[in-house]
Amino acid sequence: MDSVRYDAERRGHVPIALKILIAGGFGAGKTTLVSALSEVRPLQTEEILTGAGVETDDLSGVETKSTTTVAMDFGRITINDDLQLYLFGTPGQDRFWFLWDELAFGALGAVVLADTRRLADCFPSIDYFEQRGIPFVVGVNCFDGSRRFSLDSVRRALDLDPEVPMVLCDARDRQSGKTVLISLVEHVARQRGEPVSAI
Amino acid sequence: MRTELPGHQHEWLDDDAGPVVRPYTLTGGRVWPDGNGFDLVAYVLARPDPDLAAYPELHPEHRLLVELAGRGTPLVELAADLDLAVGVVRVLLGDLLSRGLVSVHQPPRATYLPDNDILKAVVDGLRAL
Ligand SMILES: Nc1nc2c(ncn2[C@@H]2O[C@H](COP(=O)(O)OP(=O)(O)OP(=O)(O)O)[C@@H](O)[C@H]2O)c(=O)[nH]1
Ligand SMILES: [Mg+2]
């Protein structure tokens, strides 16, 4: 039967899934960017939040009283049969830091969305990725009606490392989002010392 | 090997527990199975032709998971498809794993430095979108 052969072929063959984080302050456009880029409907799932429950080995269930969940956006881009990108929007609030660790583990890199009306909101994201050595780029999200700043002045305000790429973007626009992702992957490649871009 | 699922024992529910939400009945309050930190994009593959009838203790959600993982699916997609929290799916997968009904492939640790061919394929693929 066809399906059996298919299964047999697939066994032992595990496609690569690369994680990319979309971070930034509250309302910076994370969900918008994930949905603009995702090939499927914007996907959402939840992660469990507990007080002590996550840390303890004794999972007798007593802690479940304080259990709540936090929603996570994610999207998928299929590059080919063997390679997929998974985009994860990070939750905006500080009390969800533990979730960041889970999202960031093994991630290829991150996009930090900066909203020029509230630049300081993305500082915690930048600190987070800098401290962990996770490659990131900054997408300066141009909201309608916000004052235009030069990329240089934004870079200074963010006190960014000169190597960290900055890209103007519109999180609603797929092409614009693609440009941000490409600059991230090229940045990751440069960190390896092997540029992937022809130019 | 776990033979009985805690979900069938309810002694952990006392008067203070409040309303029981379905996911926690499913996992019996377990949040994180024994050291199982399955990655969000861990690749889950069900064993072909699994004999689910041999495991009457499994919940319908376990069975759906096996079905959905028939073609190999990342954990986070399974959670979204089943509309269950990721942590709940991790627990259920732990149950299936211990029964040999699925295999779970963690992404390589060094994923953040995939080789250059992969990065190049990603850039080319993105450009072609
Ligand atoms: N003009 C403009 N509006 C945007 C852009 N990106 C997002 N928005 C709008 O800004 C609002 C917030 O965007 P979201 O994508 O929900 O932001 P978020 O970062 O997910 O927000 P939280 O998850 O609440 O932190 C929405 O109404 C979007 O339509 C952009 O690039 N330009
Ligand atoms: Mg959001």
Kindly determine whether residue B39 and residue A106, on different chains, have CB atoms separated by under 8 Å. yes
pLDDT tens, A31-66? Answer: 999 999 999 876 778 777 654 344 443 444 444 445
Kindly determine whether residue A48 and residue B18, on different chains, have CB atoms separated by under 8 Å. no
Kindly determine whether residue A106 and residue B88, on different chains, have CB atoms separated by under 8 Å. no
B50: nearest Cα among A7, A10, A14: A7
- Residue A33 Cα to ligand 1 midpoint, Å, equals 8
Cα angle B86-A139-A170, degrees, rounded to a multiple of 5: 95
Residue A156: inside a domain, yes or no?
Answer: yes
- pLDDT bucket at A194, cuts 50 / 70 / 90: low
CATH number for the domain including A71? 3.40.50.300
Residue A142: inside a domain, yes or no?
Answer: yes
Give me A189's structure tokens: 């490649």
Does position B45 have pLDDT exceeding 70, yes or no?
A: yes
H-assigned helices in A11-110 = 30-37, 97-104
Does position A184 have pLDDT exceeding 60, yes or no?
A: yes
Q: Residue A141, CB half-sphere, CA atoms under 13 Å: how many?
A: 27
Residue A57: inside a domain, yes or no?
Answer: no
Residue A76: inside a domain, yes or no?
Answer: yes
Out of A6-20, A58-72, A109-123, the most confident range is A109-123
Domain range for A30 is 15-46+66-191
More confident residue, A29 or B2: A29
* CB of B53 closer than 8 Å to CB of B62: no
Residue A90: inside a domain, yes or no?
Answer: yes
ipTM confidence score: 0.80
Does position A186 have pLDDT exceeding 70, yes or no?
A: yes
State which of A32, A38, A180 you would mutate to test the pocket of ligand 1, scoring each by most atoms of that ligand within 8 A of its C-beta: A32
Nearest residue of A to residue B10 by CA position?
Answer: A61
d(CA A87, CA A84): 10
Q: Which residues line ligand 1 (CB under 6 A)?
A: A 24, 26-32, 89, 92, 141-144, 170-172
* CB of A21 closer than 8 Å to CB of A104: yes
Q: Compute the mean pLDDT over every residue in chain A, rounded to the nearest whole number.
A: 81
A33 CA: nearest ligand 1 atom: 15
Q: Could you give the percent of chain A with pLDDT greater than 90?
A: 52
As a whole number, mean pLDDT of residues B101-124 equals 83
- pLDDT bucket at A171, cuts 50 / 70 / 90: very high
Kindly determine whether residue B114 and residue A50, on different chains, have CB atoms separated by under 8 Å. no
- For residue A195, what pLDDT is reported? 57
Nearest residue of B to residue A133 by CA position?
Answer: B112
pLDDT tens, B84-104? Answer: 888 889 999 999 999 999 999
Residue A121: inside a domain, yes or no?
Answer: yes
- For residue B34, what pLDDT is reported? 42
- Cα torsion angle, A107, A42, B78, B37, sign: positive
How many angstroms separate the CA of residue B104 from the nearest CA in chain A?
10
Residue A7: inside a domain, yes or no?
Answer: no
- pLDDT bucket at A107, cuts 50 / 70 / 90: very high
At B62, is the secondary structure helix, strand, or coil?
Answer: helix
Kindly determine whether residue B123 and residue A44, on different chains, have CB atoms separated by under 8 Å. no
Task: Identify the nearest ligand to the CA of A113 by its number.
Answer: 1
Pairing of strands B43-46, B73-74: antiparallel
Domain count, chain A: 1
More confident residue, B54 or A48: B54
d(CA A50, CA A69): 8
Residue B110's φ and ψ, nearest 5 degrees, are: -90, 25
Mutate to test the interface with B, among A66, A186, A196, A197 (most CBs of B within 10 A): A196
- pLDDT bucket at A97, cuts 50 / 70 / 90: confident
